[in-house]
Chains A and B, each alone.
Chain A
Amino acid sequence: MDHQRNKAVLILDHSSFFARPSGVTFNVNVQNSDQQQQQQQDQINNENTLGMKSLWTCIVECVLEYCRILFDIFEDDALITLIVTGIDQRDQSSCWNRYKNLSQCMDFFAGIQPPNERSLINDDDLLKHSLNEAITALCTRSKKQNIPNDLDYTNSGHIILFSTFNNKRIATIEKDAQTFHQSHNHMALEMTDFVPLTKCDLTLVDVRPLDQPIPTSNPEFNLITSILHRTLYYAQAGQMLFTRMLQILLKQHNLALTTVTGIPMKEDVASRSSLNYDVDIVHPAEVHHSLRERAPLKYWRQIKDDVETIVLKWSAFSYDPENYYDTYSAYRFSPLDVNSRESACLTNFLLSGKCVLLELGNIPNECAVNINEYGDENCFNTSENDLSSLTTTTTATNRLFSHMIISHNQELMIHAIAFGSNNPMSKIGPCYIVNDEKDNMSINDLEELMDEIDDDNLEKDLRVESFINIIRTTTLYPLETMTSGKIPIEDSLRLLERHTRRCPLLTNETILFNMPSPINLLTSLILREKLSDDDVSKCLIALKYIDNMERNGEQLPVPNNFQYTTKIVTNKAKKDEAYRFLWREIEYFVRGYKETSDSHRHIYQNIVDRRKTDIENDSSIYQSNKIDFIFPTDETSSTSTMITKRDKNLQENNEKMNGRVWTEFNDIKQVVSANSLRDMWNRKQQEKRAPEFDGRAEYPPPRLIPLYVNLNSKTSLTNPIGIQPILTTNISEKI
């Protein structure tokens, strides 16, 4: 998609010849279901409602259709310039930015008077001038070419000239084009504003009224120079002109047609039956590559109005866009007759979010590898087994989905599916087994291991609900505006980090995360980056609530398979252990976030002050969150290479071979807590500090150490309690 698109310049002859009637009529007769009215109107029909289009009108219709399809498929990349002879467009520099969509092309034509019926003397000069303009435009840099680079030498373009021709005129045009082309390429060597034109197709379309016959329906080719090619088409106005335009369009921009056949559509609300329709769509020709690999396209090809189309069947298999199909390419497409009822029906269906699989209609034998022919040879003593698998394979090949049509954010796209008749993804064993032993395991052992793991069973043990919450929090959406220096997806990584920091995987390993309101507020509020005073008090209330529960001896929501370590099986002992575990969990959980802000630290301090639990090291209290990585050591799978591969990769990790992973933010705390100047200052101070004294290290921050510990016990009677705080010194402040 990234390569430079061909430029296209369309020149419309505005001479008096095109003011002539084309023979194509239009009708303003109002169609009405009422029979009587119809008859009445038929009488007045011919005189009062029938109009004749001029040749000019026919060409404009055709040119706009050309533009429409290009803009639908290539959007901003479609490089189109419109030139009308005798109409001066001064602003040449911006010719590739001028027509950015169909609407702008229409505006251009709306500002042009229809050609005058009186002929001007200098029509030929005007045409020559337009040709010069066209070549200038092709040599002008488009947006993608704005910097001179190697792509300059792949600058190719098309000129389509709608006019009337005779041999002499063609010769003149060819000569002029050659001259202009050469002079421009010379200029391009000297001026960086210009790019040399390395390939140019000059397409002449000789447009005639319906009553004038055309000499041939085949195009005539002529090589003017190795770079400049001329093609001449003859066309009568109306349908023939339109077909020629389509042929030119498909050829120039490497597009192709697909007919979606058998689209079910209700005739009207009342009727239950639905009729089948066909809709033609235009898209890049690459879409058909996958078919070509199976068999020649002839099996699905049809010729419609002189244009080749590939017929694919609408399949009602599934319209669910939540399926993930194995597709390997996607291209925009546009309906050929966009305003027709059938097209509108199809596009509305797709724009509503559905997706449709397209199926190969009749699969030829050649495509289905004639398995019967090859496999069913009796002289080879085919076993029973072979035959049974044979039949299943042939039935499976009966349906082949080759493409999918879908809308992406209101853009219609056609995907090519990498489907075979067999979907191998679904036939793979459930896990990869590694064994440490030298000997091969028996088939029985293997079978046992290969037992399917039931999704429903898994769900019971895992904390799926909480993980779904994490998924929702970090579901990605495109951001329109971006704060400078911040990469949005890194915010997502940060969120994932914070949410999984102290979160158990299994339901039976936690009590804290099973707690009802208001305690569950704790687990959600702590995750926030900033806590309001209100939030802090809510957390503290939650803690106090647990205290009360413990005092009242209330039961905790202990999960079913909770692993008690106590050997005493009385309820009291179990309850005690459950509370002990809960406090440990709370401490462990909040400790993980205490560096986030002062409020977090405050809450953590509150927990520590309760002295419910020992402070432990930082290893996870949730066993299943700890991972012991397995390395394949079995002989059969070439152990040595595997491990060295991994080691190598690990090294590469450090050398930034890795994707954006958390190792890059070496210190998580640094990232997370870098939210206030004070934090940064504190960190800096801490770095400067000498190693902690052992005595102090025993106490939790802020390391208040009571002095004269024994003083109180001896002189408790004489010393009022109020004095004690004076004796405690906050050493850390002094350092």
Chain B
Amino acid sequence: MATTMNIEKRSLVAKIIESLMTNTNSPTKLETIALVFFAGRDTIKIVQHFTKNTDDIIKSVQKLPIFGDFSLKSAIDFAKKYLTTTFGGQRSQKILVFTDSSHRDDDPIKESTYNNSNQMDIDLRKVITNDERDKTSLSNSTTDISFVCIRKPSSSDRARLEDITEQTQCSFSKIYWLLNRDVENNTTITNEMIQDVITQIKSDIMDVFISILKCGHYESQLAVYPKIKPAILQTTGELLQPSNTLTVNGFIELSSIRSAMATSKHILLPIQRYTRPQPPMPMFATKKSAISSSSSSSTTATANSSLTTQKKSNAANNFYYLLLISLKKEKSAALISVNDQWFGAIHCQKFERKKKSSRLILSVFEPGDCIPWISSFERLGPYALVFPPANNSELVYKKQQWPVKPFARSYTETFLIWCRQNNFQNDINKFVRASAKLPDKVNIFHRELNKICRGAFIYGLRDRLFHLLRQLFQHQIQTNKIKPDGIKYVQNVIMYMNRLSSSDRYIKYEETSA
């Protein structure tokens, strides 16, 4: 009995997936899909690795065998890990679970499954990830799970699914169902029902965002994929919606922006209009065009470069390509505003499959000024005004260093850190070596001297250290390590150390004080 039911459900699910796949042959070609099959706690199998070929998926679905019990939780865990290893875990992903959510009404363990939530009798699941993943700052989890059920789940089933989702640390997104059990009781599932569900799923999952890229008077229309999700401005707690116009504010060299961290990455694709080849123009059209061209020189007719042939006839893409090539050549990124106080950067990335082709990639930053090395986006000024050319001459661009925040960092400045014998030894060595070069490089000698003496005060070493150093120098003089002309400098220093050991505070050694 159970087996026959499963066969039915299996073929039903296969049908849904097939239908989903068929229509997913959408013009975007953006998605790759993997199919993960599981049956039983220990039997989880990747039926189909991530692929773009929808036929493969359909084939795999049709071949699926039937199995009995399994654990939904471990399956979701597995799918999540599979996604993480394949695409990295920091961008959001989508898992679509095909399941018969409901237990038969006569199921005696219904109550207990509510808590354990692992025993279910459906045997198939499928993973759809869109290549591009986006992370929403609204939820902590990066993996969205949607369930596709055959019947509308009862409230306890629904709670159970939500519970599983929570356990696997994913965020619950939506449940789709074919049959609404509350309304109708018959079990006939029509093609229309499947179609309806498919349309819904698609509109939710394959959401491409059509946007306008604007740079002064240049504009281009493009598909932003995946959709930019709303984000919260941390300083005010305000929820910001992405504007549908991405405005170029200026440019930043890639070597200056330095892989700024992004909350989400999006691919920007030019939009191509596809029209079926038209039959040849009727005669009157030619006549008309002849008239218009003779009237004035205003009509440049249909532009016809290699860019603007029928295949690529969308003038709206010119700016996209211009930006792409320029950013690539100039190794620069465009700073764009997604909304007020919300910025992102567009850079050009090579397309791996074919070496000569590239794409624009948008990195959306966290709203506000959240990049430590760009203190404020609004305080960035254009080169022409920050470094204006002298006496009205032409602007010549030369890469400039970004200002360094004045802060004494231990790795950029030399600090006396003596907690390791090595560090201390190095400082002493430098000092003694400088003494051997006297009378040359007196400045270096005095600099090292001041360093050591300050260190002696900081670390409370003065008596012992000065004593040892005095002895050391006397020894150096005796063994002729110090040049005769240098002896007087060293003797001055010995006297200085004598004075210093009885002093309360550190006094810098000056040439004149000798």
> How long is the Cα–Cα vector from A425 to B385 in the complex, in angstroms?
36
A62 within 8 A of B: yes
Chain B, 403-427, CB within 8 A of any chain A CB: 403-405, 407-412, 414-426
Name the B residues within 8 Å of A503 (CB-CB). 217
Name the A residues within 8 Å of B30 (CB-CB). 428-429, 432
Assess the B87–A109 pair: CB atoms within 8 A: no
> How long is the Cα–Cα vector from A75 to B404 in the complex, in angstroms?
13
Q: Which of B218, B347, B410 contacts A334 (CB 8 A)?
A: B410
Chain A, 367-390, CB within 8 A of any chain B CB: 367-369, 371, 374-375, 377, 380-381, 383, 385-386, 389-390
Name the B residues within 8 Å of A76 (CB-CB). 407
Assess the B321–A627 pair: CB atoms within 8 A: no
Chain A, 232-275, CB within 8 A of any chain B CB: 242
Describe A's contact surface by its main secondary structure: mixed
- Would A368 and B314 be within 8 Å (CB), given that A113-B504, A374-B78, A489-B250 are in contact? no
From A44, which residue of chain B is reached at the shortest CB distance? B475
Assess the A109–B358 pair: CB atoms within 8 A: no
Count of interface residues, chain B, beta-carbon cutoff 8 Å: 215
Name the A residues within 8 Å of B304 (CB-CB). 561, 563
Name the B residues within 8 Å of A390 (CB-CB). 49
From A521, which residue of chain B is reached at the shortest CB distance? B394
Q: Which of A111, A389, A449 contacts B51 (CB 8 A)?
A: A389
B126 within 8 A of A: no
Q: Which of B216, B358, B402 contacts A496 (CB 8 A)?
A: B216
Name the A residues within 8 Å of B359 (CB-CB). 425, 428, 430
A717 within 8 A of B: no
Assess the B464–A428 pair: CB atoms within 8 A: no
> How long is the Cα–Cα vector from A450 to B28 in the complex, in angstroms?
10
Q: Which of A377, A435, A448, A563 contacts B45 (CB 8 A)?
A: A377
B332 within 8 A of A: yes
B392 within 8 A of A: yes
Most chain A beta-carbon contacts within 10 A, residue among B210, B304, B337:
B210
> What distance in Å separates the Cβ of B435 from its nearest Cβ neighbour in chain A?
10
Q: Which of A52, A443, A660 contacts B249 (CB 8 A)?
A: A660
> How long is the Cα–Cα vector from A580 to B300 in the complex, in angstroms?
13
Assess the A577–B267 pair: CB atoms within 8 A: no
User: How many contacting A-B pairs (Cβ < 8 A)?
Assistant: 625
Name the B residues within 8 Å of A347 (CB-CB). 411-412
- Would A661 and B412 be within 8 Å (CB), given that A2-B234, A64-B417 are in contact? no
Name the B residues within 8 Å of A383 (CB-CB). 59-60
Assess the B412–A406 pair: CB atoms within 8 A: no
From A445, which residue of chain B is reached at the shortest CB distance? B274
- Would A26 and B259 be within 8 Å (CB), given that A464-B325, A565-B299 are in contact? no
Name the A residues within 8 Å of B395 (CB-CB). 472-473
B7 within 8 A of A: no
> How long is the Cα–Cα vector from A449 to B269 in the complex, in angstroms?
13
- Would A294 and B85 be within 8 Å (CB), given that A476-B381, A489-B378 are in contact? yes
From A659, which residue of chain B is reached at the shortest CB distance? B337
B432 within 8 A of A: yes
Name the A residues within 8 Å of B208 (CB-CB). 432, 632, 637
Q: Which of B107-115, B154-162, B177-185, B305-313 contacts A (4 or more CB under 8 A)?
A: B305-313
> What distance in Å separates the Cβ of A451 from its nearest Cβ neighbour in chain B?
8
B492 within 8 A of A: no
Interface string of A134-178 (1 = CB under 8 A from B): 000000000000000000000000000000000000000000000
- Would A476 and B271 be within 8 Å (CB), given that A406-B258, A429-B28, A498-B216 are in contact? no
From B265, which residue of chain A is reached at the shortest CB distance? A326
Name the A residues within 8 Å of B56 (CB-CB). 385
> How long is the Cα–Cα vector from A536 to B240 in the complex, in angstroms?
47
A658 within 8 A of B: yes
- Sort A-B residue pairs by CB-CB distance and give the 4 closest, nearest first: A500-B216, A488-B381, A659-B337, A408-B373
Query: Can you list 6 pairs linking A and B with CB atoms under 8 Å apart?
Result: A72-B410, A113-B504, A472-B395, A495-B382, A505-B322, A509-B303
